[in-house]
Structure 1
């Protein structure tokens, strides 16, 4: 029986567990990172924020990378105030924060592991006059900040990491697409999808657009459709390796 090939577009340093999970159930994982993560240089404003962390009622970590890179910057420059509440959007971020700090975040969505899920938590309802620091990567959506400000909060950003398009050898990608070997592609962000399209050789773009996608949130469906993807678009319930693997099996890509 031919192994089914799943293409993973996560940054290389974050793809190991999912790659192993796919191979453990008899699939083949083709790693083609469409994002690379680098630490961001702190601005003068960021350094002032870190020196005055006790002014914040909440610190929100937007992603696992925000936890990893943000906490390193916090720990290198200051001490976390005991009474500042820590929030993460997803369970993966919560797990990393717990491993790095030895304590669980104070606020995590119970479902819908995205900005709307966090905004729906009880802690984010009455935030008038609260000071909130959002730790994130460069760019990103403004939805969380805008909504919190509409609720009366004062919100600042700290950019802890940069997402860049990596230089990649596309020889294997071209071969997999030419031979119709990819059962599904796992996409975890709009930037990752955009970069994939830009990195794919023009002679196999049409084949790429016919490959099914497994996405980690419903917002990516419209982005994929606008980009021209015409095959099946499925959404995993969350971005964890377990949820992605279960969805791949549910839709018979593994």
Structure 2
């Protein structure tokens, strides 16, 4: 198989960990973080949500930044209610602080989370109310499906996402300089930032194999004009490695 040389676009800390896992598997990667986060200032009303978590039957945390900020806001003793996350890495942040966390063992997306028996049981209760902790925007499908099951859903947005500043043409320069033959994004927002940073170079970038974490992001990528999109069925290093090993860079 033709060796992969891929561009990682996660936040710097996450890209470092992912790059190490790829290196151990003999895969070259280059990191160009396209997604950074900044905490949002919470109003008194929003802070009060954490003092009254007992009114919810479940709390869903959709990302590691949301998990890190949530545990900073929680007071002891923590409410005894089920917590849920989309993936294992987010769950670990919460579990490290003593919270009871459920997450799908296969698939790192909203669809997999919605299939969890524990979540279905929680929202089946009369008057079920769910709190979703997230960044600005995103995960609308999750709330929609929960409401269809009869639950009331509240959002608490803890951070905003932004594209770091790069020089014009930096993306194309990196790809050419390091002879990269694949691109990796871990979220829909990451894909949007990739498209934005590419600018007029996007038609050429769109010809490179693009590895995405879910069917939703796959559709977004195709709508944007990406020609060779691979759904890794998860955002973990293990899911990416399976996808890379299942495809040949020369034929994809």
TM over 0.5: yes
In 1, Cα distance between the equivalents of 2:204 and 2:177? 10
1:124 aligns with 2:122: no
> 1:226 corresponds to which residue?
223
In 2, Cα distance between the equivalents of 1:196 and 1:219? 16
Q: Is the 8 A contact 2:206 2:225 kept in 1?
A: yes
> 1:157 corresponds to which residue?
155
Runs of 4+ in 1 over 3 A off after TM superposition: 169-172, 176-180
| TM-score after normalising by structure 2 | 0.88
Query: How does 1:142-181 map onto structure 2 within 5 Å?
Result: 142-170=140-168, 172-178=170-176, 181=179
Report the Cα offset of residue 25 of structure 1: 3.0
Aligned length: 246
Change (3 A) 1:178 1:15: closer
| TM-score after normalising by structure 1 | 0.87
Q: Which moved more, 1:39-48 or 1:221-230?
A: 39-48
In 2, Cα distance between the equivalents of 1:110 and 1:3? 29
Q: Which residue among 211, 230, 233 is the counterpart of 1:237?
A: 233
> 2:193 corresponds to which residue?
195
Unaligned runs of 5+ in 2: none
Q: Which moved more, 1:207-216 or 1:169-178?
A: 169-178
Report the Cα offset of residue 180 of structure 1: 8.5
Q: Is the 8 A contact 1:94 1:104 kept in 2?
A: no
Report the Cα offset of residue 173 of structure 1: 2.4
Q: Secondary structure at the match of 2:130?
A: strand
Unaligned runs of 5+ in 1: none
> 1:209 corresponds to which residue?
206
In 1, Cα distance between the equivalents of 2:104 and 2:26? 33
Q: Is the 8 A contact 2:83 2:99 kept in 1?
A: no
Aligned alpha-carbon RMSD (Å): 2.3
Report the Cα offset of residue 253 of structure 1: 4.5
Report the Cα offset of residue 103 of structure 1: 4.9
In 1, Cα distance between the equivalents of 2:41 and 2:129? 23
Q: Secondary structure at the match of 2:181?
A: strand
> 1:9 corresponds to which residue?
9
